[in-house]
Amino acid sequence: MDPGFIDVGGNGVIRGQLIWETFADLDLHLILPDGQEVYYANRTVSYNGGRATAMLDHDNLGGTIDMPPMRRVENIAITGTPSNGPYRFFVDSFSTPNASDAFTLRIGSGSNAQVLSTNLPAGQNSQSLTLNFDGR
């Protein structure tokens, strides 16, 4: 997996990781190719006929520092045999005392990695990063 991922949460065939440095509660979301969503209220999804599992395996409400001095992390890992198709990751600003919060979203599969670093206004969703998986 790409060395830019912080060692928090699990690895997988596909992985998404959200990193930020404020007391905000930012949330990582994943929309699977079959339309199911993985996020804090639906942490584990089995799909592709039970051959794959997508799991939010590290959730952070903003009060925990996962990597000093200030980094907070959320992590979604997909294990097993994922179905082919688009995996759409995005960030939701669930709760924040700030007008906006800076974050980095990193997604990857093998050597295919994408990174989005930007600011997210309070109460908004970020643009998506989409990984088009083809396991052949």
- pLDDT one-digit tens code per residue, 98-134: 999 999 999 999 888 999 999 999 999 999 999 999 9
Q: Which residue has tokens 């396991």?
A: 135
Give pTM, 2 decimals: 0.95
Identify the pLDDT of residue 71.
96
The pLDDT tens digits for 9-56 are: 999 999 999 999 999 999 999 999 999 999 999 999 999 999 999 999
pLDDT category, 3, cuts 50, 70, 90?
low
- How many residues would you count in the chain? 136
Domains in the chain with CATH codes:
14-125 (2.60.120)
C-alpha closest to that of 59 among 77, 78, 75: 75
Identify the pLDDT of residue 100.
97
pLDDT category, 60, cuts 50, 70, 90?
very high
- pLDDT for 2 beyond 60: no
Phi, psi torsion values for 25, nearest 5 degrees: -100, 90
Local structure of 131: helix, strand or coil = strand
Pair 10, 99: CB distance under 8 Å: no
Separate counts of helices (H) and strands (E) for the chain: 0, 10
- Residue 123 structure tokens: 């109460």
- Residue 75 structure tokens: 């992590």
Residue 90 CB contacts under 8 Å (≥ 6 apart), including other chains: 29, 31, 105, 125, 126, 127, 128, 129
